[in-house]
Structure 1
Amino acid sequence: MRIEQLHYLIAVSRHKSITAAAKEIHVSQQNLSVALRNLEEEFGVELLVRSPRGVTLTPEGELFLAKAREIVAKIDELYAAFSKEKPAKKVLKGRLLIDAVPYMTMPDVLVSFQQLHPQVSLTLRENSPPRIVRNVAQGLSHLGIIIRTFEEPGLVKFIHDLGLHYDSLIEDRVFVCAGRKSPLKHKHVISLLELLQQRLIVWGVLYDWILEILTRHEDPAKLQIQRSDNVQIYKKMIEEGLAVGFVTGIGLEKELIFKKGEVKAIAIEQHNRISIALVYPPLDTLSEAARELIAYLKIATQDYRS
């Protein structure tokens, strides 16, 4: 058995198609099919049901897939733990595209990585969590930094079903942010019911995602929510008390407007816990620079953890 055979099986289970899986992992359909046939023969078990409509896993294949993912995850852990210990370490070079939720890029951590590896070019692109997961799964970005609310219990399984890894970096909370002219300025805690009655403003790329979460608790027609793609307008609306926004604990520590007292953070009763996490493909499919960045983020973000 070869490790790439396990990756082939994971890709086929994700796409339910030999053709699509072969295209994703850049091998010929024939080589992929032969590799999977050899895997079945080696273990004496039928893993796949092949038909003109596509490919599905047999019950034995489902069990085999679960074990395959465990093995691949352990190998990824070895890469993360020991790849930088190679005696003849090369100077890291390359370009990395990172999709991240706004304010979740932890710029001080990324700047430190850039200083350690000046020949690695980092490009940051803001996106919503669903779009980030899709981009990483489709190979449109090397890794993603997402927010997962605890109202999305199925998200981790969905990410794993796409053949991606999910590593929680930080457990955090979401706060409401209100300006000094806001009627909420004297509040320290706000209920979800009261929050849903306020005029809300959401930063551009997060609008659809936050709207989808809020409509689980309120009729969309009753929500007063607007989107802003202009950071000055977004902050001004909040500062002038014309709307309230959202901020994470990390954002609270980093944003100057909170330190100056121009905007106040208000705790939300319940429904406020989030996880900030890394999403990335199997490490052996990534460049050395990408693997090093993932390992660095896991270590460096320990300073953010309570």
Structure 2
Amino acid sequence: MRLEQLAYLVAVQESKSISLAAERAHISQPALSSALSKLEDELGVVLLTRTNSGAHLTEIAELIILKAKEVLNIIDDIKSIAQGNSVELNGNISAAADPGVNITIMPDILTTFKRNHPKVNTLLKVGESNNILQDVRTGKANFGIILDTEEFCQSKDINCKKLFSDKFVIITGANSKINLESIPLKQALDLPILLYNTEYITNCGVSSLLRKFGEINVSYRVDNLEMMEKILSQGESIAFVPQFMADEFLKANKIKKILIKDADLEVSVILIWSNRHHLSLAEKEFIRAIKKTCSQRTAL
């Protein structure tokens, strides 16, 4: 039994596809299939059932994968101890981040991480929190940084780490007719609302939260922060965003912030990854960089 055989088996589980697992492992599909067939022969069990609809992991394979992940994690720890700070990481990282996190936190993380680990390639997708949650579930993203939404609270098989807490505020155009520093939530819900959403759906994390307090007047749904800023700057609509995101918008002097007078809409920013995904050394180091940056932020 070789370690790469265990890694291939874990990759099939995470990718839910032999071809995708082979692509991520940077080997041909026949080579990966051959490696798993040899593992089946050695163990004397069937790991994959092959049908017209594709290959499916057997029940015994799922049990073996649990132990395989433990083994691979131990190997990573041994490599980390042996190589210390001299380890030269490589590989690819697929991550996804909420737009507020993307424009405030991720630039420093990405540039610092790339400077320290130039051989690691990072692909970052920006999306609405519920959409990112779905990407992590399906393996499109290895991990994500999202707002703690209602849909996340109902999710299973997802690991999470709280990064920091914040609260929702309202943003609108600097020349908006709303000349108040704070307004009641009920009054705000009656105003035209802009939602950031990256899919053709009517529900998202923010709208789910707001609907707990009554009907909402949604006038726009956009998937682009530049468009969001342009629409809001007209002063005819509002958006509910975390305060750290609002403070970033305020720098352009086109947007102003309004507090919610009678409700404390708390929100947590969390790091999530599937418990079906085996984190590589590069991903573990990237997560450490995220945690470090966020801890420094909360200390300010």
Q: Report TM bin, short chain.
A: 0.5 to 0.7
Q: How many residues align?
A: 285
Quick one: distance in 2 between partners of 1:50 and 1:232? 47
**Structure 1 runs not aligned, ≥5 long:** 161-165
How do 1:1-306 and structure 2 match up within 5 A?
1-73=1-73, 75=75, 85-87=84-86, 99-105=96-102, 106=105, 109-110=108-109, 113=112, 117=116, 126-129=126-129, 130=131, 134=135, 137-138=139-140, 144-153=144-153, 155=155, 157=157, 167-179=160-172, 181-182=177-178, 185-187=181-183, 190=185, 196-203=189-196, 206=198, 208=200, 211-213=203-205, 214=207, 217=211, 223-228=217-222, 234-235=228-229, 238=232, 242-252=236-246, 254-256=248-250, 262-266=256-260, 272-277=266-271, 282-284=278-280, 292-305=285-298
Quick one: distance in 1 between partners of 2:117 and 2:15? 37
Give the residue type in structure 1 aligned to 2:193.
L
The Cα shift of 1:78 comes to 6.4
In structure 2, relative to structure 1, the CA distance for the partners of 1:35 and 1:210 (3 Å cut) is: same
Give the residue type in structure 1 aligned to 2:271.
A
**Structure 2 runs not aligned, ≥5 long:** none
CA contact (8 A) 1:149 1:275 kept: no
Give the residue type in structure 1 aligned to 2:109.
L
CA contact (8 A) 1:47 1:60 kept: yes
Quick one: distance in 1 between partners of 2:20 and 2:90? 30
Quick one: distance in 2 between partners of 1:118 and 1:10? 25
Give the residue type in structure 2 aligned to 1:27.
I
Quick one: distance in 1 between partners of 2:94 and 2:62? 33
CA contact (8 A) 2:185 2:263 kept: yes
Quick one: distance in 2 between partners of 1:5 and 1:94? 18
The Cα shift of 1:70 comes to 4.2
The Cα shift of 1:282 comes to 4.6
What RMSD in Å do the two structures reach over aligned CA positions?
4.8
TM-score of the two chains, using structure 1 as the length reference: 0.65
The Cα shift of 1:230 comes to 7.0
In structure 2, relative to structure 1, the CA distance for the partners of 1:16 and 1:247 (3 Å cut) is: closer
In structure 2, relative to structure 1, the CA distance for the partners of 1:38 and 1:154 (3 Å cut) is: farther
Percent of aligned pairs with the same amino acid: 25
CA contact (8 A) 1:76 1:282 kept: no
User: C-alpha offsets along residues 138-194 of structure 1, whole Å, 9 cap, x if unaligned?
Assistant: 5xx88754334143235563xx6xxxxx5535143441314574387533x636xx7
The Cα shift of 1:198 comes to 3.4
